[in-house]
Every structure is written in structure tokens, then in C-alpha cells.
Structure 1
Amino acid sequence: MTFSTPAKIFAAALCISGMTAFSAQAAEFVAKIGHLESAQQSRNIYLEKVAKLVNERTDGNVEFEIYPQGQLGNQRQMTEGTQLGVLEATVSPAAFLGGFNPAVSVLDIPYLMPQDFKQAQAIRDSAFGKELLASFSSKGVVAIGLWPNGFKQFTSNKPIEDWKEFAGQKFRVMDSNILIEQFKAMGASAIALPFGELYTSLQMGVVDGEENPLDTIERMKYYEVQKNLVVSDHGAMEDVILFNEAFWNSLPENYRKVIVDTFHEVIPDLVKDKADKVAAALEVVKQNGMNVRVATPEERKALREEVYPATKAAYIERAGDEGKKLIGLYEKAYADVVGN
């Protein structure tokens, strides 16, 4: 896949002084890691924690320099930079990687991950999760893990007290066939719009509603232009940890193990931190007048059963045989962990 201006990322990496680095000595291996979230958000907080622990556990020989908030470019540029070795790593939302690796779009399927943390982690750690990470190996990058980053919720200016009320409504989505099929299966229509246009589109009635994590809904003040919110937890927001292949292979095996294990070790604390921020965001949107309801387990099960076949078919159509294999591994893991 063709990306743009990797040289800009290199220049930014040389110029930016706002990154976080951990080293008490001249490290043998230095990795620039770029991502999109702000310094105050969960992803950056735990990247800094991982950086500190990895530095300590390698006796100062591995140093991570963390560049938050798109300082090294947009996600497309950072993914390209990682692929080409302009930077050593990026932590990217899986939703931004579908054009780079169609197999990862499996994570767009609604209710793919259970709400229970242990069950969801068991699926990430299963043969499905391992095969999903391995699907990046032909792209010049090494995917070393998945990081959970919360769930999406539905909002609308029209009633959404029942799934049947979604019928006929227009929702903004990212440019994803799977997400378009999700709403079609609910009787609604989906319009792909850039994120930067969403607030105005809601305000002007171009779309009736949208889907986003609660902390995004609060941070972007969508409560100013939306009346109703359903805490549905329907879309898992998963981050993929990507390293440049040449850099990764240059690391001693014991250092690679330290890095993988440390990223994995902090997941429970990362999930708790995210949950705390989501809970705080929920209070803010309530205080600002949104009508909030929480979907029951029975509703969530019914919606999964309704939308899974169509979104699964859309995914396989895009990802081909590799997608079929991943779906088979996923369905086995889900049955083993959750049951039917």
C-alpha cells in the first residue's frame, strides 16, 4: 500500500522535544513510538509505564521515546513510517489499519469481544488473536499484541429506546463496509464521514446519530448536538502494537520477550484506567442533559445475533481466505470462552 511523506515523520522525530523517554544511560536500542491519543489518555499513560518498565528490565539497554497526539503525523503516516523504518513502532487503533491489512477489519464486527474482561482477554490470547497478529508479518511490520481501548456506544437525536427504533435513521460511520452492514442489518442507513465533520453534521441534521467511545463523546461535546445515548458496548476498540520488522529482529530474544511480556502485563491496569475515564465521561454527559440508558444483556445478545451474520459476510468478502480462517478461529475461541 502507498502512504505519504515518511520524510516528514523523520523530521518531526528530530525536532520534537515533547516525547517521553526513559533511560539512565546511553541505550543500545532506542525506539521512537508514535500514536494519536493525548498525553492524558490511557494509551499514552500506559505506554509511558511500559517504557519505564522495559528500560529497567533491560538494564537501560532498551529505551522507548513516546510521541503522543499525532506529533509524528497522522496514523497512516506513522504506520508507513513503522513499515519503512523511519520510526520503530506505533500503537494504532485497529480501525485505522484495514486499508493496510484487510484481515484486521475482523475487529470491526459488532460484539466481537465480550464485555467481561477475562473472557475478552482469553480471546485476544487465543489462536485467533495470535493468527490475527501474524497476519501483519507480510507487511514489513511485527504485531506484538492487542491492547483493549474500550467500547463504542450509540447516540442519536431520534429515539433509541429499542433496537427497532434505529430503523430509518441515518448514522455516521468510519469508511468501513462492515460498519455499513451493521447499520443496514438494524434497518438504519450509514454515511461515511470524516471525524472532523461529525459535530457539524450532527448539528445540521446531515446524520441523526453516531457511534463512538463514551470518553470521545464527552471530549468532543457531542452531548451539545445529541439527545440520546445507549451504553451498548457494541464495538470493541482494539489497539495493535506494531514494530518495524528490522528493528524488532535486531533485538536480542530476551529483550523481545521483555517487551512483549510488559505490554501484556499492564493490560488489566490499562483497562481499569480506561473504565474510570469512561465512568467520569458518563457523568459529564448526564449532567449535560443527555438521555442515557444502558442496554440489557438480553438486548446485547439479540443485537449480536441480528448483526453478526451480515457483518461477518462483509468481512469475509473483503478479507478472502485469510478472513475465513480467522473467523473460524474466532468462532472456536468464542465458543470455548463464552459458549453459544
Structure 2
Amino acid sequence: MEASGQPLDQVLKLSAEQIAERTDGRVDLSVFPSSQLGNARAMTEAVQLGMQDAVVVPAAFIGGFNPLVSILDIPYLLPTNDDQAYQLRKSEFGQALLASFKDRGFVAVALWPGGFKHFTSNEKLEGIDDFEGQKFRIMDSRVLRAQFEAVGAQAMPIPFGDVYTSLQTGVVDGQENPLDSIARMKFHEVQEYLLLSAHGVVENVVLFSPTFWSGLSDEDKQTVADVFTNNAQELARVKGENQKQALEEIKAAGLTINELDDAEQQALRGRMYPAARDAFLEQAGDEGQKLIDLYEGVYGDITE
């Protein structure tokens, strides 16, 4: 999905090298960046049909293939501490989410970080009370809609490619994205406020075709899964460096930047998380409830 040289591309190529080395060349993965094989939906369908071996795809794009993955849209789901987030991905909760892809035509081997989201706006945005009445762009997600409605804001689904113009012309006041996405898409050129909230994640899922996967030995399957699971840490590190560089670029544009302290984060989580969780459960049913129960048990243990 990402362009050549971007963090995801870097770590994918590293993973392919490690897998080839550790399997003595039995598993040889080629990496095609910049959506060379199609858009997210086309590549995911190709993997499901066995026409493509694997894809690393943002969870937000594949809710139609597996509604349970929309749990990753819930705000304040992952801890901002990289080690704690890594433990959560590897936990019983993370494994159950990956396992939910099996009956839907995929082998999911790992969750990969894509960066924490922050809010920007052209209206004052310093804390929880400032969301009231503002309009924010979202990806088309009931969970994200509930997140904004919980703080009195209006959510409007707009394609990613139209966000800059929508901010510039006032169709919406603000948006949410990781800092590197904000800088890359130049959203900071048409925004006045940045609220460093780290409230949500853009998470990727590493999916393999069952056709390809069934051709691997048990030993090679374990090697592939281990490499992708462990390299979530490396991707978080590289992404973190990118976020720092992006923040400097955004600062240079002269935005008013505010950061939520721990108490404000907890207050915002207290408003957004329950509403978004309930919206997720409305569409995910009993399977979703089992995931939420696993998550809430593990999250408490990890973050205490």
C-alpha cells in the first residue's frame, strides 16, 4: 500500500529477507509497494481467491470482509506505550482477532502498527469541550461516527483524496490521522489547530491466502508468523521516527498545538470508548462481545 521507502515498505522488505534466510529460500516473498497490485479491496479479494499470496492492508479497509476487524476503529483501544501495544497484539485478544479471519477465507498472521491518530481543526481545539458542534471527516465507519457523536461533533464520511479540499473549503472543520499522514497529505496547510491525542490507531493486518499457506510446512508457517509478529516492534520504531519528523514539519507551519495530559486523555476515553464500543457491538454481535470481553481483561492487565 505505502510508497517505496516508506516505513511499511522498509519493514516488509526486511521481513521478506529474514523469512528467505530462515527458511533457506523455501519461502520467497516479493514486495510490491505503491498499490502496484491494485487498491486495498482488489488485493484483499485476490488473496481471498488465491490469486495473490499475501497483503498487508489497513484494518479500516476490510470491515466488509470481516466485521470483527472494526474493533480496531474503537478509540483508545491500544496503549500508546509501544511495548504494551506489542503485548496486546500478541495477547489472547490479538490472537482471537487474527483467528476470526479463518472462516472468512484468510490466514491472518499479525497485526502491524500504522501510527496513532491525532485531531486537527480550523476551529479552536484544545480539549474535550471544543469538539461540540464541529464537523470532522471520517472513514465510513459506524464506530468512528459514534466516537465523534459522543463528544457532540458531527462526523462526515469523505474519501481520503478529497480531505484536503474539504478542509480548505470548510466542508468539514477537521480530521483525524497519524502525523506522518497529515504531513504527507499537507493537511496542516489548511488547518489551524493540532490536538495531540493519540486517541486511535491506523492498524494493519498481515493476511495470507489459504492456498499459499497450505503449501508451507508447519515449521515454515511458524517462521513466517514469528517474523511478522516480531517485526511489529521494528515497524513501531520506524513509524515513531517518522512521526517525530512529521511533527517538526507541522510545527514549522505555525499551527496552534495542544497536547492532552493524562487526566484529559482519561476523560476523553471515558466519553469516546463506551460509545464506539457499543456501535461496534451492534454490528458484531456475540462474536464481537467475546472479543471485547477478551480485550477488556487483557488491557487492564497490560496497562496496570
TM-score normalized by the length of structure 1 = 0.88
Match of 1:297 in 2: 262
1:78 to 2:43 alignment: yes
Answer with 206-215 or 57-66: which moved more. 57-66
Q: 2:113 aligns with which of 138, 148, 164?
A: 148
Report Cα offsets for 1:242-294 as digits up to 9, x if no partner.
00012101101111111111112222221111000000000001111111122
Higher RCO by CA contacts (8 Å cutoff, separation 6 or greater): 2
1:61 to 2:38 alignment: no
Cα distance between partner residues in 2 of 1:92 and 1:132: 15
Cα distance between partner residues in 1 of 2:231 and 2:91: 18
Cα distance between partner residues in 2 of 1:272 and 1:128: 23
Match of 1:173 in 2: 138
Cα distance between partner residues in 2 of 1:159 and 1:95: 28
CA deviation after TM superposition for structure 1 residue 323, in Å: 0.4
Report Cα offsets for 1:130-178 as digits up to 9, x if no partner.
1100110011110001111211110000001121011000000000000
Rg comparison, structure with higher value:
1
Match of 1:122 in 2: 87
Report Cα offsets for 1:156-214 as digits up to 9, x if no partner.
00001121011000000000000000000011000001111111100100000000110
Match of 1:186 in 2: 151
CA deviation after TM superposition for structure 1 residue 300, in Å: 1.0
Cα distance between partner residues in 2 of 1:272 and 1:90: 21
Answer with 163-172 or 256-265: which moved more. 256-265
Cα distance between partner residues in 1 of 2:255 and 2:65: 37
Match of 1:207 in 2: 172
Match of 2:124 in 1: 159
State the secondary structure of the residue aligned to 2:31. strand
Cα distance between partner residues in 1 of 2:84 and 2:124: 32
Match of 2:181 in 1: 216
Cα distance between partner residues in 2 of 1:122 and 1:60: 30
CA RMSD of aligned residues (A): 0.9
Q: Does the CA-based 8 Å contact 2:117-2:178 persist in structure 1? A: yes
* Structure 1 consecutive aligned stretches of length 4 or more whose deviation exceeds 3 Å: none
Cα distance between partner residues in 2 of 1:178 and 1:201: 22
Match of 2:235 in 1: 270
Give unpaired runs (5+ residues) of structure 1.
1-35
1:237 to 2:196 alignment: no
Q: Does the CA-based 8 Å contact 2:127-2:260 persist in structure 1? A: no
Answer with 289-298 or 174-183: which moved more. 289-298
Cα distance between partner residues in 1 of 2:102 and 2:279: 23
Q: Does the CA-based 8 Å contact 2:111-2:232 persist in structure 1? A: no
One-letter code aligned to 1:275: G
Report Cα offsets for 1:13-52 as digits up to 9, x if no partner.
xxxxxxxxxxxxxxxxxxxxxxx11112111100000011
- Please give the residue correspondences for 1:44-55 in structure 2 after superposition, counting only pairs within 5 Å: 44-55=9-20
Give unpaired runs (5+ residues) of structure 2.
none
1:92 to 2:57 alignment: yes
Cα distance between partner residues in 1 of 2:242 and 2:150: 31
Cα distance between partner residues in 2 of 1:165 and 1:209: 12
Q: 1:260 aligns with which of 225, 241, 259?
A: 225
Instruction: Report percent identity of matched pairs.
Output: 49
